[in-house]
Structure 1
């Protein structure tokens, strides 16, 4: 067992004993101090609420702040209730305004108001500015702690300004250039300033900025951020005045959260807002049960289709053997198309106006896939069960693959059009739709070919 693992086991044993005396708490603090930050985050995030609060309480200020910032906002809110008032005040005061706003969103109004009153006037003003934007707006994730320059500054003046105010800025690697009304004129990198002549003007060194409006959707802004390969992105208001800056760590956090949500919903569940091991059982059940009920109700449609064609199954029982193959193929083909188009939508490769092109493209893709699988189905099932059954299988696979590819490509675009999450329309609903529709196609072809 490694030293870190042994220390972790010691910390866990101390936590389970519910330490109360000063000696026990001091021992816990000494053991915890030797653990790396990642291990501390794991312990605080996965232990029961009481144990998490005890462990967090014995951490020194720097370690506590690092652990607290690594936790999801919902977990931060739950942790606060078990902490001392002064420790809470110190931590809240040291958070960045955007992180503080996310935390305040999760707290009861009375607690949030009390914490806001504990901030100094500048911190309170910056936090209030961030809280003024909708939850899904990029303004909610920007930092108002930005260090702007003016175009008339010389490089010498600009560098002196940066040295004086660097501690108050979120980042100094990319510096916005603004006019007296704070309208964004461009940006200049710190590297370029350092390499330029001291008498050169900032306005001559600045270049056009890739910026986002504070009300833009967070995911769209974050994807533009990475598409442009930025370290930081200025955020402006509707009149192009500088209001904040988005840094790479916040952009990464946004996309991580969006990808987590898409992954969960694609699998037919709602994303958990905290660590799996510390999430209450009933909360996990709630995240899954709604989807299971929706899908169970949707599956009734498939059962109804089988009931309609029950007489055909009675005449040719062999048809029942191929149902799992056909429904599985249709669902998989549709989900492949939906996943591809959903990602293309997310990164801006496909837009709503491209709907006809997507449909035409997926029709051809589905037809080629169907032709390959259909030929294989015709050959194998024809050799085993006869030419007639082989023909049914070949034509059905061709038709189902074509239909499923079109539906899979179409659903994310429809979701985007109506303002829903494209991931919600992916695997669960597409599979159910393709199952029912595929069976109708199957039995219709069987009826025509076999003369049922």
Structure 2
């Protein structure tokens, strides 16, 4: 039998071996290796924002400086575009302003402005002072807009041509600028020749098919969806998704300032959804990843709402004291208090959660309030009848008597309907008043319903139970 030849030993390059090991190590180990190749390999092997952010956030000041020394403009851009903003801010805070400015030069204007907002005022001023005059002016312009506005999130680097240009001149201008961002994948923004006023949009296909001497003004589409720079960023995101655009132009007094792209919209909607979820839980938004939040910060974000809810809940005790004699006369009424106020709170939470989300996505507006009320009241009737039947059976099995059972069943119906009315109107009303409707969800709606539910319960009891004068 012929035997297989012995395996041939191949030499392994030490650098290749170190790189291979780097792919299985975290960022600290890559820094220890100290090679550009190791950084490249780490970026390839560690995808995902949260994993990269976590490892960057765990670095010491000395390790951050060593990491920055290993970055090229390309790897710096890939790293800082993928890591969350608080982690990047933590890196820049330990670097000299000149080095921080150099890192920001590798990023787009809108991303750089977002990071600069996280720095304290003094450090931000030093970094901007170390930045080139033109780019510094651009960044200061972005930072001048309100934080959650469309102007703050826009990218000012946009492909645009003048309506007075010919097709040939427009193509030459686009080639000369070599702009990295455009309105969508096939559109160029068109502005008036004397003032950067947005007047239309033209596709690249139209530019290719049109005669070189054709004026842009004759082939442009004047029906352009745009958003004001002062408008909330969420409005811009909804415009883009509602009209199925790849980007939406940002204007101020008609003048073109920049665009918000589909990539920006993903970040905006994620941030808004996170903020709404935190508000619905009765907490102020954290603004930073949860694992990076200190106990003091969590206390500060939660305590105000908890105190407000606590003070609001105090009137429940006042209601119970007002009906103290009724409870003493018919002790069985106390058995069902948690059931009744819990049902009211749960009903309200379900409605506000659904409604706030529908409002956030633009499905429901104040003008739809009557439709919302009719829909929720009809649903409330079905829910109330179902739960009242279960409550009736439960009351009878406890042996509390027919009158108490009737009281509980009627109270359930009234409480559910009352809660449905409040929960379907209040979010829309608050939105009209400029208050975030998410604040009425969860704990707040439960608190509002608790006291009124008790009043309903004891009022029904007095009308039904003979011992209480019914």
TM-score, normalised to structure 1's length?
0.87
Equivalents in 2 of 1:5, 1:257: separation in Å? 36
Equivalents in 1 of 2:58, 2:263: separation in Å? 26
Which position in structure 1 is the counterpart of 2:88?
Answer: 76
**CA offsets 1:68-108 (integer angstroms, 9 cap, x no match):** 23344444333212235453122122222222222222222
Equivalents in 1 of 2:62, 2:37: separation in Å? 13
Change (3 A) 1:391 1:398: same
Shift in Å, 1:246: 1.1
Equivalents in 1 of 2:70, 2:270: separation in Å? 28
Shift in Å, 1:234: 1.0
Equivalents in 2 of 1:115, 1:158: separation in Å? 36
Which position in structure 2 is the counterpart of 1:130?
Answer: 142
Please give the residue correspondences for 1:242-253 in structure 2 after superposition, counting only pairs within 5 Å: 242-253=256-267
**Structure number with bigger Rg:** 2
Which position in structure 1 is the counterpart of 2:443?
Answer: 428
Mapped contact 2:248–2:259 kept (Cα < 8 A): yes
Mapped contact 1:222–1:254 kept (Cα < 8 A): yes
* Residue of structure 2 aligned with 1:395, choices 406, 410, 414: 410
Mapped contact 2:226–2:251 kept (Cα < 8 A): yes
The size of the alignment, in residue pairs, is: 442
Shift in Å, 1:377: 2.6
**CA offsets 1:314-370 (integer angstroms, 9 cap, x no match):** 222222222222112111111122123222322333333444444444333323322
Please give the residue correspondences for 1:376-391 in structure 2 after superposition, counting only pairs within 5 Å: 376-382=390-396, 385=399, 386-391=401-406
Which position in structure 2 is the counterpart of 1:214?
Answer: 229
Which position in structure 1 is the counterpart of 2:293?
Answer: 279
Mapped contact 1:77–1:106 kept (Cα < 8 A): yes
Equivalents in 2 of 1:381, 1:65: separation in Å? 66
Equivalents in 2 of 1:262, 1:52: separation in Å? 36
Structure 2 residue 332 is the aligned partner of structure 1 residue 322:
no
SS of aligned partner of 2:171: helix
Equivalents in 1 of 2:126, 2:197: separation in Å? 35
Shift in Å, 1:4: 12
Please give the residue correspondences for 1:145-224 in structure 2 after superposition, counting only pairs within 5 Å: 145-167=157-179, 169=181, 173=185, 174-180=187-193, 181-194=195-208, 201-207=215-221, 208-224=223-239
Q: Which is worse superposed, 44-53 or 397-406?
A: 44-53
Change (3 A) 1:443 1:333: same
Shift in Å, 1:228: 0.8
* Residue of structure 1 aligned with 2:100, choices 83, 88, 91: 88
Change (3 A) 1:147 1:340: same
Segments of 5+ residues of structure 1 without an aligned counterpart are none
* Residue of structure 2 aligned with 1:140, choices 149, 152, 156: 152
Equivalents in 2 of 1:32, 1:436: separation in Å? 61
TM-score, normalised to structure 2's length?
0.84
